[in-house]
Structures are given as structure tokens and as C-alpha cells.
Chains A and B, each alone.
Chain A
Amino acid sequence: MSPWIFFVEHRAEIAEATLAHLSLVLIAMLIAVAIAVPLGMLVVHRTTLRSFVLGLASVFQTIPSLALFGFLIPIPFIGGIGRRTAIFALVLYALLPILRNTYVGLTSIDSAVLQAAEAMGMTNAQILWRVRFPLALTFILAGIRTATIITIGVATIAAAIGAGGLGTFIFRGVAMVSDAVILAGAIPAALLAIVADLLLGWLERRLAVV
């Protein structure tokens, strides 16, 4: 069967899977940003905590995704079959790029700027919110962009544990030895990644300081 005909015949199903995929990615990214950005801010002045947190996030990053999904299934509360487990795993993957970029962004600011801020009588909170954070924003967004693209890719594998999304077509296509079915999952996933990259890249440039 030609991929084109399969696409047309299953367009409703593909659209639904794309939406499910997108919602997995969005939920995971929201949680990851909510954890990683504050954590990145927190570790700026805490060296021990920083190496621990960054080390742990790197460990998550190195676990093969299929293995991570597998590991999580038997764990109570967060584990099991379905979206919740998948989202949890996706969050773990997304943490490192955001965390690292937040930390690097907050610490790579011109020392003369920080020195001036302190000497002019800004409090630590004012320095963080009015100087460090705005200047780190493009770095943080770059981290979010990387994490989003990773998450869109990894989310296809989440179908293996019953989380739905575009991976459903890919796994089904592999089982059926059908290129058309594989492409019905792979092409929308690739398009999602490209669109996310372009959108977030545009936002990054819009918010660039200089």
C-alpha cells in the first residue's frame, strides 16, 4: 500500500495520535521546566548541590529510553502502563538540557555587570530577577528547545508502554513490516520536531538581549 493512500485513509487516526503525542510532550515539558529552571537558579551559589543535581540529571540522560520506560513500569505510583509513566520518563530526559543551560546562563554573565549590580546596592533577589535571569533567558530557552526536540523523539518510544502517540504507528508498522504505517508515525513526529525547533528558535532570537 502506498504511504499516501494510508495517510489519507487514516488521517483522523493520525491527527489524533499527533495530538496525543503533542500533549505528552507539552505536559512533560511544562513539568520539566517547572523543576529544572528553579533548580538551576538554586544551584548557582551551591557547589555541592550543583554537582549532585547535574550529575543525577546526566545519569538519567545516559539511560537508553526503552530501558528507562521498562525500569519505571514496576515502580509503584509513578510506574505502570500508560501515559503517567511515559510523562515521568520524558521529564527525566528533559531535565538535563534545561538545568544545565539555566545554570550556565545564570553564571556566564559578565562579571563587571554583576559587580556593578552588587556595588550599586541591589539585593541578591534583585540581582537574580532583574539582572541574571533576563540575561540568562536566551540560554534557558535554548535548553528548553533542545529538551523539547529530545522529548518529541523519545515520546515515540513511549508507545511501547502504552502511552499512545505517534510511536503507536511506528511500532505497529515495524510489526507489520509496513513502511507506510511506520511513516505515518515518523513523518508527523519529524514535522513536530522541526516546527518546535523553528518556533522556539524564533522566540530565542526575539528575546535576545543584544
Chain B
Amino acid sequence: MNAKATPTYQATIQFREVTYSIDSILGKSSSRPIVSGVSMQVSQGETLILLGRSGSGKTTLLRLINKLLVPSAGTVVVAGRATSEWNPIRLRRSIGYVIQEAGLFPHFTVAQNIALVPTLENWDAARVATRVEEMLNLVGLDPRDFAARRPHQLSGGQRQRVGVARALAADPPILLMDEPFGALDPVTRAELQHEFSALARRLGKTIVFVTHDVREALLLGTRIVLLQAGQIVATAPPDQFLDIDHPEVRAFAASLVPVPGARA
């Protein structure tokens, strides 16, 4: 047994029979579950992909992790504690979050955007400045060129890099990514996917990554969870995923078929 009084921090996430439904406008009786009966475990350091079509409930699962949503039934456990026990602000500041449109603050510079959580956490100015520089270098943007820019002076790919830098700034053990590369052009997307997969392996963060792109799932995931209509229908590592005999897996596999004219 470990002799230390405090247990080592485990950046793990568990879903235990989680159901989330929204009350319909007509009344509570006719509530419609967005996700139902989801149980899964995300281990320390893995990149778990939540794959599914639009409306399959993948973003909802993500938002249940940092308590943007609270389960209607069941429990979501983050780092050993149910989200219902977590102070939402504390929880969210220990989890990085990247969304599709980046959601950078237009009235902040790139540096101020990246410094968001460290500033909220009252780091001293020198430490924040060092960290911002580190983060910009990490995501491949030259601090001298980019720190003082405003988001509207960036390309889509650069904005998304800043989004990743902002999410990582306070060094959170967990990173949530909601189709972060979905709005980018295919070439930029491929670049960022490759850089990100290298970065993810190096940083050892626990990552939950939402996408509807099976190619992206196979490239970035250490494990893929396939969702359909709010339920998990398949779970497998990328090298075994396409062999699963399930209609939804076959539907996603079919989307990988090369177009005429493409070289194999």
C-alpha cells in the first residue's frame, strides 16, 4: 500500500448508469432522454474518442464531465469524486475545454486569452507571462508575433491553436475537446490532428474527444466509444474498431471508402 496520507491524484472519469434528459416544454412527464444508461471508464492518460452522428449525445456526455450538465440519474465521477460533490468552478478550472469555434474572447489579446484560467487562479504576473510564452511555443505559434494579437487577426487554424493553448494553460490533468478541428479546412485540420496526436502522447493528459469523423477517431484515439441515440453501442481500440459487427460501425466504416480518383 502507498504510505502517503493523500492518495495520488488520478485523472480518471467514470460514468455509472448515467441518464440525462431534458424536461420537454409540455411537462415533466414527457421528458426525452438525451443519453441513457451510459456506463464507461476513462483511464488516466488515455485519449477516449466519443464518436457518433449529430444528436447521438456525445457533446452531452462531455458536458456532464465538467458539470455544465448534471445527470438526471446515475453518477459521473471525476478524480474519485462525483460531480454532484464538486464545486463546479473548481472542477471546471481543473479541466481544459476546447470547442469547435474556439470561443476565444474577442476583446482579449491572444496572451490574455491563454492567461484566462491562471489569471482567475491569481497566479502572479511573471508566472502567467512565462506560462503564456510556453503555451504559445507548445502549439507552434511564435510568442513575439502572436501574443499581442486579437482573435480576429488570426486564421481559423491559429485560433484553434490558441484555444488548445488556453485549455492547457493551467496544466489541467483532464482535457475535454468538442469537435475542436471540425470547422477547419481539410488541410489545416489534418495538420492540427497530426500535431495534436503527438502533443497528446507527450503530455500524458486524460483526454475525452468528441467527433463525428471516424478518420479523426482512428487517428487520435487510444479507444473509441461509439454512441447511437444516447447509448453506447460499441467500444474498441482503433485497430479493432472497424472489425466490430454492428450496423452503426459499418455505417461509419462506409464513410471511409475512398472517393473515385483518390489514391489508396
Contacts and interface: CB of A to CB of B under 8 A. Distances in A.
Interface stretch (A89-97, A108-116, A164-172): A108-116
Contacts of B166: 120
Interface stretch (A33-41, A47-55, A121-129, A198-206): A121-129
- Could you say which of B105, B152, B167 has the most chain A C-beta atoms within 10 Å of its C-beta? B105
Contact of A112 (B88, B103, B176): B103
Interface string B81-113: 000000011111100010111111111000000
B88 to A, nearest CB: 8
A119 B102 CA distance: 12
A129 B167 CA distance: 21
A209 interface: yes
Given A112-B102, A209-B106, A121 B68 contact: no
A121 B92 contact: yes
Contacts of A110: 101, 103, 106
Interface of A is mostly: helix
A189 interface: no
B152 A210 contact: yes
Contacts of B91: 121
B104 A116 contact: yes
A134 B107 CA distance: 7
A120 B92 contact: yes
A49 B167 CA distance: 36
For this complex, into which size category does the number of interface residues on chain B fall? 20 to 34
Given A112-B102, A210-B150, A210-B152, A122 B120 contact: yes
Interface string B148-166: 0010100000000001001
A113 B92 contact: no
A121 B90 contact: yes
B68 A118 contact: yes
Contacts of B66: 119
A209 B92 CA distance: 27
A121 B101 contact: no
Interface in B169-221: 176
A115 B163 CA distance: 13
A116 B99 contact: yes
B117 interface: yes
A167 to B, nearest CB: 41
Nearest to A208: B107
A121 B106 contact: no
B92 A119 contact: yes
A119 B99 contact: yes
Contact of B89 (A115, A116, A121): A121
A113 B99 CA distance: 10
A163 interface: no
A114 to B, nearest CB: 8
Contact of A115 (B99, B116, B117, B152): B99
A112 B105 contact: no
A68 B229 CA distance: 59
Nearest to A119: B97
A134 B108 CA distance: 10
Interface string B12-35: 000000000000000000000000
A110 to B, nearest CB: 7
Contacts of A117: 103, 105
6 contacts: A120-B167, A121-B91, A121-B93, A123-B89, A131-B105, A210-B106
Interface of B: 66, 68, 88-93, 97, 99-107, 116-117, 120, 150, 152, 163, 166-167, 176
Given A112-B101, A115-B99, 7 more contacts: A112-B99, A113-B103, A116-B99, A118-B68, A119-B92, A120-B93, A122-B116
